[in-house]
Copies of this chain bind each other. A is one copy, B any other.
């Protein structure tokens, strides 16, 4: 019976969020992990589902069409102008669900932490995720925390997975683009990638260029409400607008004729691209979408988009054309014509 005296059963001290750091015990699944989850993750993500304390969150769903997707986030630096890995990891998955026309419902978040990572940075990131989830009206229902030795990770990697429901009558897919459809974007291209690259390369602008990271689900809900027959939606993240258009061309077996003059690009982005030797068409976005719309609905769609804070600069940038070779063609600013290929190589490592 001696053990009763020896082994104490104390809940343990509070996390020292200000000065503490992650050590391997926080990934061991024992008391330190439980304390981290209770005192940090559950406090910030505060909702009934995450507090069920079971191996999985349980919720009711009505019958219907659902979508599911995941995104690993390894962006460097973790904090950047306009956002951080936390909000990015929420919006990244929310947007992938929204690109199916779905209303995002539930998210999970798995953290791979590097030994030595500061609690204060982790808290800032988790708070940013919580705020982003509220903004996007999704609930983070479950999570996981693993820790790797110093030098085997890089601060924190966050993988989010989401589930959403597709409204009745909405049927959006990358294989539905048809000849004659209009190609629309909701605003300036290249902000995210250039904000990150400028930060890395220490390039200064007159005004601070911010990442466009934002949840697109509310904009999409209004778009599909107004135009349920929308054909395709896709967010031009890694690989940029050029790669997204190539993906859609391949999926739908069509071509695109894009007018460079009509693509909204900020002056700062154009200048920075020139300086860095980048093409804005290949630069990542985190709050942009490409919509492929039957032309009879284009005006309706543009009106709805321009009335939304995330679609004020919406613009028609081109047309879907018949092309069995699935080329993305660009009328350049100077009146020339070129083919815009898929991104090859790696111009912007760890951009999301």
Residues of A within 8 A of B (CB): 1-4, 7-9, 23-25, 27-34, 52-74, 95-97, 99-100, 102, 106, 108-112, 141-149, 151-154, 157, 159, 161-164, 166, 173-175, 234-235, 237-239, 243, 247, 251, 282, 284, 325-327, 336-339, 341-350
Contacts and interface: CB of A to CB of B under 8 A. Distances in A.
A343 B30 contact: yes
Contacts of A347: 28
B153 A153 contact: yes
Nearest to A30: B343
Nearest to A99: B55
A174 B339 contact: no
A218 to B, nearest CB: 17
Q: Which of A53, A58, A145, A234 has the most CB of B within 10 A?
A: A58
Contacts of A97: 55-56
B325 A9 contact: yes
Given A106-B68, A159-B159, A161-B161, A342 B31 contact: yes
Given A24-B349, A344-B32, A146 B54 contact: no
A64 B60 CA distance: 6
Given A61-B66, A68-B141, A52 B339 contact: no
A95 B339 CA distance: 49
Given A3-B337, A235-B55, A63 B66 contact: no
A325 B9 CA distance: 8
19 contacts: A2-B338, A4-B339, A9-B341, A27-B350, A28-B345, A29-B237, A30-B343, A30-B344, A34-B247, A54-B99, A55-B234, A56-B99, A59-B68, A70-B159, A112-B159, A149-B349, A152-B154, A157-B157, A159-B161
A343 B28 contact: yes
A348 B58 CA distance: 30
Given A57-B67, A68-B141, A109-B70, A30 B342 contact: yes
B164 A56 contact: yes
A96 B56 contact: yes
A20 B344 CA distance: 17
Nearest to A345: B25
B151 A346 contact: no
A344 B66 contact: no
Given A1-B337, A60-B66, A64-B61, A348 B28 contact: yes
A89 to B, nearest CB: 11
A69 B25 contact: no
A65 to B, nearest CB: 5
A27 B1 CA distance: 57
B337 A53 contact: no
A23 B338 contact: no
A172 to B, nearest CB: 8
A66 B165 CA distance: 13
